[in-house]
A = this chain, B = another copy of it.
Amino acid sequence: MTTTKKAAPPSERRAHLIRLAADLFAEKGFRATTVREIADAAGILSGSLYHHFDSKESIGDEILREFLDDVLGGYRAAAAGEDDPRVVIERIVRSSTAALSRHRAALTMLQNDWAYFSAQKRFAYLRTAMKEIEQTWVDQLERGKQLGQFRADLDARLIYRLLRDILWIPTSWKQARGKGWSTDEIVDGLLRLLFDGITAPGQ
């Protein structure tokens, strides 16, 4: 999950190309985006991309690593030095929503081409990161049960599974704009649903 790679000297141009590629990946998925399209977007020939990267996959790699570093950072910070599971969960939701909006492309890549990436050893860190994310959720849900904050019959692992993907979703809405929701509205709606469900208080 380290960010520095010896074969990848950072540069302005390079960073710009990654951003262009990320936008395309977000739009059409990683596999469906061709290097020619990336090059076209940059106004250069496809072969010229290989002056900066040694493969299309290494561009994807860089995008995904940065994303997971960011997300995991948020999870760790959320869990550090805080005892109330409810607060930790709220922090996780808010921080990862923010991280996701910063790395929209990475999310789309994972959603569309998870099978492709996770099958390669090069991307083994994806599975590792997912495990840490799951563990964090399960830990907090379990602690909440023990403290009596959450329903005692709640299956932490099951709830996590149900939740994880909801967390990813709001970000992809950026594309479908004009719907009129701010990120805050979405996150608040999500937290409300998570904690209280849709049933009216009295019922």
Chain A residues engaging chain B, CB cutoff 8 angstroms: 27-29, 31-32, 111-113, 115-116, 141, 144, 148-152, 154-155, 157-159, 161-162, 165-166, 169-170, 173, 179, 181, 185-186, 189-190, 192-203
Contact = CB atoms under 8 A, between A and B. Distances in A.
A65 B63 CA distance: 35
Contacts of A29: 112-113, 115-116
Nearest to A45: B51
B193 A195 contact: no
18 contacts: A27-B115, A28-B116, A29-B112, A29-B113, A31-B32, A32-B116, A112-B115, A148-B202, A149-B203, A150-B199, A151-B201, A158-B189, A159-B189, A161-B169, A161-B170, A162-B166, A162-B189, A165-B165
Interface of A: prevailing SS: helix
B150 A162 contact: no
Given A29-B112, A150-B198, 19 more contacts: A29-B113, A29-B115, A111-B112, A141-B198, A148-B200, A149-B199, A149-B200, A150-B199, A151-B192, A151-B198, A154-B198, A157-B179, A158-B189, A159-B193, A162-B170, A162-B193, A166-B166, A194-B197, A195-B199
Contacts of A197: 192-197
B162 A165 contact: no
Contact of A111 (B32, B111, B195, B200): B111
Contacts of A115: 27-29, 32, 112
